[in-house]
């Protein structure tokens, strides 16, 4: 039985149970004072909005250079992918793999994964709720690791600072990439995982 069927709402923040009061439009948790809802309001629409914005920025994030390494005046702009290729060419395969996973696979997987969760909640899909919740938890857990490249840029810009001899500059692709990471993290927070179970048990559509 769902808490919602018993007229109970779980607080998003402190997990306290609250009895739904039909008279009140904006109910607050009796323990921590946070807003409580049966389900997050407009969860699906908001998640879609964040996801589509992230998908649009995904292109400049991957096509524009994220940094330029200058040696003796001549610079080579690096995109995310060319950075990975350079690492691999120098024989640093484990690190190349880490950067490839964090900067290319994870953001792509998140965009596709969240879209898949949204689709599966809106129309009944063959994926079992158990599989979907695993996808959701994985997306929630892994999201922050994409920030890796941004931190690497911050470190390189600070330390490779030898004037005309050698320097590293951040490129505009980095801004787009950081935005993609932040937006997909927000999308994962906005998505209400309880919707995954709703449409499998009751057969109701929640969109």
Partner 1 sequence: MPESAATPGLEEVPLEQLAACPECDLLMLKPALNLGEVAECPRCGCELFRLRHRIVGPGMALVLAALLLYFPANFLPIMQLNLLGRVTQDTVWSGVLSLYNSGMQGIAVVVFLCSMAVPLLKLLCQLAVLSCIAFDRAKPLGVALYRTYHHLREWGMLEVYLLGILVSIIKLRDMAELSLGIGLACFAGLLVVQVWLELVMSPHQVWEALSERRDARR
Residues near partner 1, by CB under 8 A: 1-8, 10, 12-17, 19, 31-34, 87, 90, 92, 95, 98-99, 102, 129-130, 133, 143-145, 147-162, 165-166, 169-170, 174-175, 178, 182, 185, 189, 193-194, 196-198
In the complex with partner 1, the residue whose CB is nearer, 123 or 130, is: 130
The CA radius of gyration of the chain, in Å to the nearest whole number, is 22
CA distance 103 to 149: 7
In the complex with partner 1, the residue whose CB is nearer, 54 or 102, is: 102
Read off the tokens for 20.
């739904």
Least distance (Å) between residue 134 CB and partner 1: 9
Least distance (Å) between residue 112 CB and partner 1: 21
Least distance (Å) between residue 93 CB and partner 1: 11
Sign of CA dihedral 6, 11, 17, 20: negative
Least distance (Å) between residue 32 CB and partner 1: 5
CA 2 vs CA 117, 137, 167: distances in Å: 20, 20, 58
Contact 27, 18 (CB under 8 A): yes
In the complex with partner 1, the residue whose CB is nearer, 67 or 111, is: 67
3-state secondary structure of 91: coil
Least distance (Å) between residue 142 CB and partner 1: 11
End-to-end CA distance of the chain: 21
In the complex with partner 1, the residue whose CB is nearer, 201 or 207, is: 201
Nearest C-alpha neighbor of 49 from the set 184, 158, 157: 184
Please tell me what DSSP assigns to residue 17.
Answer: E
CA distance 206 to 161: 54
Least distance (Å) between residue 2 CB and partner 1: 5
In the complex with partner 1, the residue whose CB is nearer, 39 or 115, is: 39
In the complex with partner 1, the residue whose CB is nearer, 116 or 136, is: 136
**Residues with Cβ within 8 Å of residue 19, at least 6 apart in sequence:** 7, 8, 9
């Amino acid at each position: 039985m769902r808490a919602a069927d018993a007229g109970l709402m779980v607080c998003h923040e402190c997990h306290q149970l609250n009895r739904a009061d039909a008279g009140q439009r904006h109910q607050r948790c009796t323990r921590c004072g946070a807003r409580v809802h049966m389900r997050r309001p407009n969860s699906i629409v908001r998640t879609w909005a964040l996801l589509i914005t992230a998908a649009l920025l995904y292109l400049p994030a991957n096509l524009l250079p994220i940094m330029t390494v200058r040696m003796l005046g001549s610079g080579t702009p690096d995109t995310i992918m060319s950075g990975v290729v350079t690492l691999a060419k120098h024989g640093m395969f484990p690190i190349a793999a880490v950067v490839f996973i964090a900067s290319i696979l994870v953001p792509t997987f998140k965009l596709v994964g969240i879209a898949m969760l949204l689709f599966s909640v809106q129309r009944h899909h063959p994926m079992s709720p158990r599989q979907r919740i695993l996808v959701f938890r994985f997306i929630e857990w892994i999201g922050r690791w994409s920030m890796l490249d941004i931190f690497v840029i911050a470190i390189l810009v600070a330390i490779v600072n030898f004037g005309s001899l050698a320097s590293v500059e951040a490129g505009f692709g980095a801004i787009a990439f950081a935005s993609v990471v932040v937006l997909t993290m927000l999308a994962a927070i906005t998505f209400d995982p309880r919707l995954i179970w709703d449409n499998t048990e009751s057969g109701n559509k929640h969109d």
